[in-house]
Amino acid sequence: MTGVRLTTNAYPHDQRLEAWRFALQRVSLELESDNEDIYGDLVSFTSGQKIQFIRCTGTAQVLNLDFRQEARCFWLVLLLEGRLIATSTGASGDESVIEIGEGDMVYGGGDTRCRIAMAGDFRLLLVKVPHSLPALKSRSQLPTEISDLIADTAVGRMMSSLLRTVADTILDISDDQIRPVELALPEMIAATLLDRAPAKALGGAAGGRAAILERVFQSIEMRLSDPNLNTHQIASEHNISPRYLQKLFESHGESFGHYVKLRRLERCRLDLGSPLHAQRSISEILFQWGFNDSASFSRAFREQYGMSPREYRKSPESVG
């Protein structure tokens, strides 16, 4: 993992404001303040899948989130302590204003600028998830406006609890400990975006297709280790025809076979980089995740990640 750590207390009083401003800029946050008495503490790291976690603690201040110059991403802010008001102007030109409390979240797409204002002491966790991750890319459109996710909803409780644990252990968490979060978080986000998509975006029939496809994704995830996984098996489970299943994937610019291959490759990549699987051979890992031919697996792995499985295992990338 790579990361940043800064606390303003490490600087002379007259240097704290600029040190804090610079630390925030390094994670694409802009500070609106000239208060030299400002306090801030920032810890960030980027996981192997390029998910960035940023814990920010401070006194009253206003921050601007602008990730338009970065790779497309989904972002969310979990408020750990304090109160927060988020303001954004959506693609329609309408202004959205959202106030959240402890345990609640506000989220948006990387093309959406957002201003977050904290009137008092606060602690928050900002998470940026690349939209290019397979779990998100073929399953969800990035939101064009900000929305809130309240902690007393089912998915809100799960995400809040998961991310609060990350925030509380951010200084000590290891690459291997973050891997389950890397797997679970994109899945939760995809389900959230589908569940909360506006009716006009999904429509009646389109909404039904999206709901079926989400259930299909979950079924595939549970059966990746089955080398005989096929469209007939999944279609039968969901009472649809194999041809209709293929149509569902085509509507997302994807094919069933290619999606399954990408998910298997990603599971293999995570295992190849995990100390827990260091004693297992590459063959054992690829067979476990449903591949049945070493040569074709190696070709597919190189095409997806730019290096062979063996090279990846030895590279610094495999340990974050």
Position 256 scores a pLDDT of: 93
Q: What is the mean pLDDT of the chain?
A: 86
pLDDT digits (tens, 9 = 90+) for 171-202: 888 877 888 888 888 888 877 776 665 444 44
pLDDT digits (tens, 9 = 90+) for 282-305: 999 999 999 999 999 999 999 999
Which residues, 6+ apart, have CB-to-CB distance to 92 below 8 Å? 145
For 74-91, b where at least 16 C-beta lie within 10 A, e where not — what string?
bbbbbbbebbbebbbeee
pLDDT digits (tens, 9 = 90+) for 26-61: 999 999 988 899 999 999 989 888 899 999 999 999
pLDDT digits (tens, 9 = 90+) for 132-151: 887 777 666 788 889 888 87
pLDDT digits (tens, 9 = 90+) for 234-271: 999 888 888 889 888 887 778 999 999 999 999 999 88
CA gap 26, 15 in Å, rounded: 17
Query: Which bin fits 107, alpha (ψ -120 to 50), beta or left (φ > 0)?
Result: beta
CA gap 267, 291 in Å, rounded: 11
H-helix segments, 54-174: 134-137, 154-168
CA gap 23, 17 in Å, rounded: 10
Q: What does the pLDDT average to over 209-220?
A: 81
Position 80 scores a pLDDT of: 96
- Of 58, 45, 49, nearest to 4 (Cα)? 45
Does pTM top 0.75 for this prediction? Answer: no
For the sheet with 61-65, list strands across it: 29-32, 61-65, 114-118, 84-89, 95-100
**Confidence band for 168, pLDDT divided at 50, 70 and 90:** very high
- Decide which of 316 and 100 is more confident: 100
- Decide which of 95 and 154 is more confident: 95
In this structure, the strands spanning 95-100 and 40-46 are unpaired
Position 252 scores a pLDDT of: 75
CA gap 172, 161 in Å, rounded: 18
